Structures are given as structure tokens and as C-alpha cells.
Structure 1
């Protein structure tokens, strides 16, 4: 099962490594981990997407409690249990030729993806969106030949006034 937690943490060195170590100790696979400063430069938000084995779906409460007890953690939320908005950024370098450029541009227009670089044999595009939108663009571009790709991983916030 896939889970997403958000943690406000002290913005200091070693926090990311300590957080990853806690998940490693529990044998949990981190699918993505994003961290960056918040409106307060002394605080960072970490969004951690991880999996638990399908045969042991269990409760994410153990890892959430363990994260909450870490000295540098200010607040932690299990977003899997709340409504939240999430986004991911992807950069893709795709093979192109004169004949495929118009097809590529049509696909990019449908997904509202932007062109950020153009070479003689490639086009570099960016897209920000939820996981389904990102995966959809990747599927549509695969037949052209994806030369390289970089993804940020998920960032997320709770919806509403919480």
C-alpha cells in the first residue's frame, strides 16, 4: 500500500539522513522524499511517500509515531487519511525529428506541458501536476523515445483550513 506523510522539521543538517534511516530500520521502501524550506527559513517541510507490503497493510501509525518522536520534528501528518493536494515536477528529454515535432507539440498542448529546451534531435519539456497527469504524459512520450527524465517526487499540503 502507498502512504504519504508530511512533517515539519527543523531546517538543519542531517535531518534528511536521520529520517531516511528511520524508514530503513523499519524495512519501509521510500518511493519519494521531498524537502524544502517553508515560509519560515528555520523550518522545512518533508513529504515522504512510502510503501508497506501488500500482505501487511497494517496501520501507518507506528511510523508516524516514530517520526513524531524524533527531536527535530515539529509536526507530522498522515496525509493518507486526509484530503490533500499534491504535485510533482517532471523534466523529460525526448527524441525528436522534423516529422515528429508537430505530434509532440500536440501532446504537450493537451497536457499543458512547457518546452524548456530544443536541440537538433531532442526536445526538453516540463510538466507539473498530480501523479496521474505526470504518468500520462510519460506514457504518451515513450513511443518517441525518452532520452532522460528527472522527477521531483511528490509535494503535498492538506486541503482546507487545517
Structure 2
């Protein structure tokens, strides 16, 4: 079952490695991981998408919460949250289907960021379902390369 952990951490070397080791102990797969500074440059937020058993995720969250570098950790599985992901996709571009591809971009509000002789590159941000939808629509046209940023997430409301 997919789960999302959000952690505020001290912006120090080795934090990500330490957290990864805690996750590895439980043989849980990291589906995505994103890290970046918050409004305070001394603090970073890590958003980790995990696939594993509920009990293992609970233990991981407890282990992470005990680390010295952790300020706060939340398992967002049972809380409402807003999430976004960025994707860059390079698609094969053949003149006969270019209008069709452009229509897909328009429907998904994807922005063209580069064009070559044989490919077109777009960017889009959205939740996982929207990103997956764009990818599924473009697969038949030939995705040449792709990069996903990994999910970032914040709890909804005033928490």
C-alpha cells in the first residue's frame, strides 16, 4: 500500500542516508523521495513515498522520529494533504500526429519547453494521478525519455 511520510529535518550532511538506512531495515521500497529547503534555510522537508505493509511503515516512522536530526515527522496516510509532482517528458514527434499530441498537452495543461527535429519536450506538475494520466496518453506516441521529480506534500489546513 502506498504511503507518504513528510519530515522536517536539520539541513545537514548525511540526513538522507540516515533516513534511507532506517527504511532499508524494514525492506520497504522507496517509490519517490524529494528534499528541499523550507522557509528556513537551516531546515529541509523530505517527502518520501513508500510502498510497504502498514506495520512496517509505522515502525519506520517511529524510528525516524527518534533521530537527532529530525524536527518533526508525519505519516500522511490518514491525514488530508496536498501533493504535487513535476514531470519532464520527451515524446517522438511525427508530423502526422503532432496536432493530436498538442491536444493532449492542452488537455493536461502541459507546457512545451523544448523542440527538436524528431522530439518535443513538455513539463507538467500535478498530483500522481494527473501525471500518470499524461504518461498513459503519451505512451502510444513514443516516450523517448522521462524524469519525475518525486512527490512533494503538505498537510491541508492550519496544521
1:35 and 2:35 equivalent?
A: yes
Return the TM-score normalized by structure 2: 0.97
1:6 is aligned to: 6
1:63 and 2:60 equivalent?
A: yes
2:80 is aligned to: 83
- Equivalenced residues, count: 159
Return the TM-score normalized by structure 1: 0.95
Pick the aligned partner of 1:136 from 126, 133, 136: 133
Pick the aligned partner of 1:125 from 122, 125, 129: 122
1:16 is aligned to: 16
1:100 is aligned to: 97
RMSD: 1.0
Q: Separation in 2 of the partners of 1:96 and 1:13? A: 42
Deviation per residue, 1:43-98 (Å, 9 max, x gap)? 00000110114xxx436321111110011000001111100000000000000021
Structure 1 stretches of at least 4 aligned residues deviating more than 6 Å after TM superposition: none
- Residues 26 and 56 in structure 2, CA contact (< 8 A), matched pair in contact too: no
Shift of 1:26: 1.5
